[in-house]
Amino acid sequence: MSSRANKKQAAKVVREQIARERARARRVWVSIAAVAVLVIAGLVGWGVYSSQRSSSFTAPAHATANGDGLVVGAGPKTVELYLDFICPACRNFEESGGSSLNQMAAANKIKLVYHPVAFLDRASTTQYSTRSAAAAGCASDAGKLPEFVQAMYANQPPEGSAGLSNDQIIQLAHRAGITGSGFDTCVRDGKYRPWVQHVTDAAVSRGVTGTPTVFVEGKQVEARLPAITQALGGGPVG
């Protein structure tokens, strides 16, 4: 080989070496950028969620001490019910056991605590879970929560629909015996929407991730009336 060919060869090796180095540097920078994109995406998610959470809320009348439930009755033992107004299993529960529980509460045999949560906002196109749970707060203000709950489940909209409009909820409430314009404006203004978020967050913090969920004296039991009466000590129903 001539020395000229050797030099050419050497220059080529060096060029290739430089190209490889550059490519490697590019690769490192692209990787760093990609990781940065993912990290920033995660932070954006956290930021969006944080900004969506409101920190202050007003609890309705008859709320529990920590504000995450609505109390009916004043019996010695406490039955807590986590419910979502668009959840079909909650309607089944309400139809099979709701009236018995409400009678026990009305007779002050139990303290019945309703926790209206908004787990299923995506099951309607209008955040029906949040709106209806907020309306339950308004019904508690009016002192007619059990009647309201019953009327709402008797007219439960199907999952995937727009749900009941605020006006329809108000009409149902009127038929269930709620009077006065306070309720109407309370529903229309979404007065208790921040409170519903509080109830929902508190439920999750307690480990409740589905509805209906029932606690008797602070212990979770199967969401069926026989299991509840058994946990209460097998006393007569109703």
Partner 1 sequence: MSITDRWVEARPWLGTLARLGLAAVWMIAGGTKIGDLAASGRAVAAYKLMPVEVARVVGAALPFVELALGVLLLVGLATRLAAAISAALFIVYIVGIAAAWARGLNIDCGCFSRGGELAPGQHANYLPEILRDVGFLAVAGFLVSWPRTRLALDEWLFRGETA
Residue 18 makes contact with partner 1 by CB under 8 A: no
Nearer to partner 1, 185 or 209 (CB): 209
SS (H, E, C) 92-143: HHHHHHHHHHHHHHHCCCEEEEEEECCCCHHHCCCCHHHHHHHHHHHHHHCC
Question: Should residue 218 be labelled a site residue for partner 1 when binding is judged by CB under 8 A?
Answer: no
Report, in Å, the least distance between residue 76 CB and partner 1. Answer: 27
Work out whether strand 110-116 and strand 77-83 pair parallel, antiparallel, or are unpaired.
parallel
Binding map of partner 1 across residues 149-188, x = CB under 8 A, - = no contact: ----------------------------------------
Report the 10 Å Cβ neighbour count for 231.
18
The only residue of 1, 5, 38, 65 in contact with partner 1, by rule CB under 8 A: 38
Chosen residue from 18, 168, 222, 226 binding partner 1 by CB under 8 A: 222
Using CB under 8 A as the binding rule, whether residue 223 contacts partner 1 is answered as: yes
What region does 67 belong to: left with phi over 0, alpha with psi -120 to 50, or beta?
left
Strand order in the sheet with 213-216: 70-72, 110-116, 77-83, 213-216, 219-221
| Interacting residues with partner 1 (CB under 8 A) | 19-20, 23, 26-27, 30-31, 33-35, 37-38, 40-46, 48-50, 52-53, 87-89, 119-123, 197, 200-201, 204-205, 207-213, 222-224
